Structure 1
Amino acid sequence: MKILMTTDTLGGVWSYCMSLCAALKPHGVHVVLATMGRALSLEQRKQVDQLDNVDVHESTWRLCWMEEPWHDVARAGDWLLSLARRYRPDIIQLNDLGHGDLAWPAPVVMVGHSCVLSWWDAVKKQSAPRAWHEYRERVSASLKNADLIVAPTHAMSKALAHHYGPFNRLYPAPSVIYNGSNFPALADSPTDKFNQAEPLIFAAGRLWDEAKNIAALSSIAADVPWPVYVAGEVDQPNGKGKAPDNLHCLGFLHNTEMARWLARASIYIAPARYEPFGLAILEAARAGCALVLGDIESLREVWGEAAEYVDPDNPAELRRVVNQLIDDPQRRQQLSALAWDTAQSYFAEQMANDYIKAYEALVNPAVFTRPRSVASLSGMPI
């Protein structure tokens, strides 16, 4: 099977695609990977070079969630269609929301990793302003033309259906395929991790993104006895950005460095206001960190009882919970074990198996026939 897959190079979607492409290899899947957003970093080039089932095609077209993107979105669409004509894929998998309504020659799987409208709801506690009206219309048309819509959690599925649905009269909501990762290497045991971990707190994410809520960590860092280290880019895509106070900012970390910091950290904090899945949290759990997370629906769905939860808008609660964990090694060890155990529900191989089921249904002539407008599979259960 051959798949034309889009990705951006700016955040978690790239990590998701690397995990998925690697896990699809044993299934005989070849991926034509089309990148957008900005040029690949040296680290990203090394990652994709290790995947011999992937051909990468690079661009720097702006994505639909960026400022004034629509000229670039149109040019990117022409480029993507040219790749489809050249490679004749069996499946188109779009990991952005801007290109579903093109004249694709094959069934389209669109993955809603996040969206601007649900971001505004969660972060700003209000509807997106009129400036995002065109985004709403374009994304709605894009999603309605996809043959299968996938979300990484039920919470994100509901958000997409709320803002852009229904997509199909029989299946009005996207299907759910949980993300998975094999990075970093799973800690040998939570007990070993607990005995070897250092008295430090770690976090990761785009420091400029209000959804990640790194500012909450900055506001309490002076009031906790352990140092707080944060990995992530300070600058926004437009070049603006300022490092938060009271934190040890490490900047962008390559995988080897990230794994080293996760192995050292006792507590991982993600006081997110908006996080449709949270691959960085999964990586921390695989390393055996105790988790302190924002009390939002998606994170409760993924982690259940394996974390402490705090109101993202209540720094005093975050300070209290963190200090209690520092003072209670038994509870830290319990949370470490629960996170490590729960992380094993989210292996990359399981994610790939679920996508293979979806792909095979779409390429089955008995299920999928032309034209797409007649045989839409949006929201098809898998």
Structure 2
Amino acid sequence: MTADTLGGVWTYALELVRALAPRDVEVTLATMGAPLSEAQWAQARALPNLHLEESRFRLEWMDDPWEDVRAAGDWLLSLEARVRPDVVHLNGYAHGALPWERRPLVVGHSCILSWWRAVKREDAPERYARYREAVTAGLRAAGRVVAPSAAMLEALRAHYGPLPPAEVIPNGRFPGVMPPRAKREPFVLSAGRLWDEAKNLAALRAAAPRLGWPVKVAGDARHPSGLAVESRHVELLGHLSSSSLADWMGRASVYALPARYEPFGLSVLEAALSGCALVLGDIPSLREVWGEGPALFVPPDDVGALVDAVETLRHDDTLRTRLAVRARARALTYTPRRMAAAYLSLYAALSGLRIPEAPPPPPRTRSPLPETPSP
């Protein structure tokens, strides 16, 4: 399995590896993008079925990455020759077109062309023509294609189709990682790079002076160019470890992410597991993942609607608690166990191997949140 070390794919990969352990599946994880942090090494060492192979090759979505993409391909093929895996699971696109022993599984977590369309409201510029060609070739060479939401899968078809057999497998998160608390503190939390146009935290920053509760943002405020993003009216928590972010989510009353582009939204899933009431950008993927009832949705570019939604939750304790309970109930359906079972079915189809039976699920525990009856 491949993974980059710079975002949610790392969390997704480790959750999947952990969930595969009871099925006696061993995973060699080949990382790219940047060296692992000490915290990431510690997370990896805690998984007995994980074997880590680290690299620093640039990723296909970075500026002028193609020499590194080629070199990374040679490295991955050498790993295949040494490890002799039953399945190759790629969490990127371009390497799908390599001459693998078996056609790989390619998972589309996001892409530049769909990002550009959602965020810029126009087609990506011509400088991404090579990227488009590489992604198209990788997807069409796959044995199977997966996306974490139907919205993301439709975007892949629209920009790079037709595709091989494809399906949706939602991401999962272990509930114990983000435990809820009975008491909530009066602040609004969000997470993401403050400069990321997809997360649209600029809208939350613009709304903050009109909100009765303070706004706290976890994530980097410094753009890759080195420039610091204006952060007035919000408290910057900086880059947090998983445990620190869990603590903040456990304390927050509201989690707000007025995203313009979010193919699944792991941070939203974590916030829901933590017992936060959700205010989300009204985009197809987030509507799909959360359905009707567990969240308030606002147009991403309507700051007034964002203010109204957060203020409604601030003033209405009953509604806020009801939404938090519903969000957590929905979040508990996105389990790593369910995710792993779906991937194992694909692994069996790609490899021809019989997958061992799953052990019985652990007993469910009740949420410490107060249960508010539905209307």
TM-score, normalized by length of structure 2? 0.91
Aligned to 2:281: 294
Kindly report which structure 2 residues correspond to 1:360-375, keeping only aligned pairs within 5 A, or say none. 360-364=348-352
> In structure 2, what is the equivalent of residue 70 of structure 1?
66
1:103 corresponding residue in structure 2:
99
Within the candidate set 110, 117, 121, 1:121 is matched to: 117
Deviation at 1:243, TM superposition (A): 4.9
Pairing 1:325-344 to 2, within 5 Å after superposition: 325-344=313-332
Pairing partner for 2:304 from 283, 295, 316: 316
1:242-283 Cα distance to aligned partner (Å, 9 max, x none): 253211111111111011101100000010000000001000
C-alpha contact (below 8 Å) 2:195/2:202 kept by paired residues: no
Alignment partners' CA distance in 2, 1:185 and 1:39: 24
CA contact (8 A) 1:184 1:283 kept: no
Identical positions, percent: 49
Paired residue for 1:205? 192
Residue 127 (structure 2) pairs with residue 143 (structure 1):
no
Q: Which residue of 2 aligns with 1:369?
A: none
Give the counterpart letter for 1:324 in structure 2: T
> What is the alpha-carbon distance in structure 2 between the residues aligned to residue 107 and residue 97 of structure 1?
13
In structure 2, what is the Cα distance between the partners aligned to 1:208 and 1:234?
6
Aligned counterparts of 2:200 and 2:331: Cα–Cα separation in 1: 23
Give the corresponding residue for 1:57: 53
- 1:124 to partner: Cα distance: 0.4
Could you say which residue in structure 2 is the equivalent of 1:222? 209
The alignment status of 1:178 with 2:170, answered yes or no, reads yes
What number of residue pairs does the alignment pair up? 353
- How far the C-alpha of 1:327 sits from its partner, in A, is 0.9
CA displacement 1:8-39 (0-9 Å, x = unmatched): 01111011011001001111111111111111
Query: What displacement does 1:241 show?
Result: 4.3
Aligned 1:238-253 pairs, distance under 5 A = 239-253=226-240
- 2:305 corresponds to which letter in structure 1? E
RMSD: 1.5
Following superposition, the deviation at residue 106 of structure 1 comes to 2.6
2:29 aligned with 1:33, yes or no? yes
Distance 2:260 2:61 in 1: 18
Gaps of 5+ in 2: 355-375
Equivalent in 317, 325, 347 of residue 359 of structure 1: 347
How far did residue 344 of structure 1 move?
0.9
- Supply the distance in 1 between the matched residues of 2:97 and 2:104 (Cα, whole angstroms): 10
Q: After the TM superposition, which residues 77-96 of structure 1 pair with which residues of structure 2 at under 5 Å, given as runs?
A: 77-96=73-92
2:365 is matched with none
Per-residue Cα deviation, 1:302-355 (whole angstroms, up to 9, x for no partner): 101210000001111101111111111111011001101001110111100110
Per the alignment, in what secondary structure is the counterpart of residue 186 of structure 2? coil
Matched, 1:162 2:158: yes
Q: Which runs of 5+ in 1 are unaligned?
A: 367-382
> 1:262 — aligned with what?
249
Look up the equivalent residue of 2:74 and give its one-letter code. Answer: D
How far, CA to CA, are the matches of 2:79 and 2:329 in structure 1?
41
The residue type equivalent to 2:167 in the other structure is S
- Residue among 260, 263, 274 paired with 1:273: 260
**Aligned residues of 2:119 and 2:261 also touching (Cα < 8 A):** yes
TM-score, normalising length from structure 1?
0.90
Greater displacement, 159-168 / 268-277: 159-168
Task: Give the direction of change, closer, same or farther, for the CA distance of 1:240–1:147 in structure 2 (3 Å limit).
Answer: farther
Alpha-carbon separation, structure 1, partners of 2:222 and 2:97 = 32
Note the C-alpha offset of 1:237: 4.5
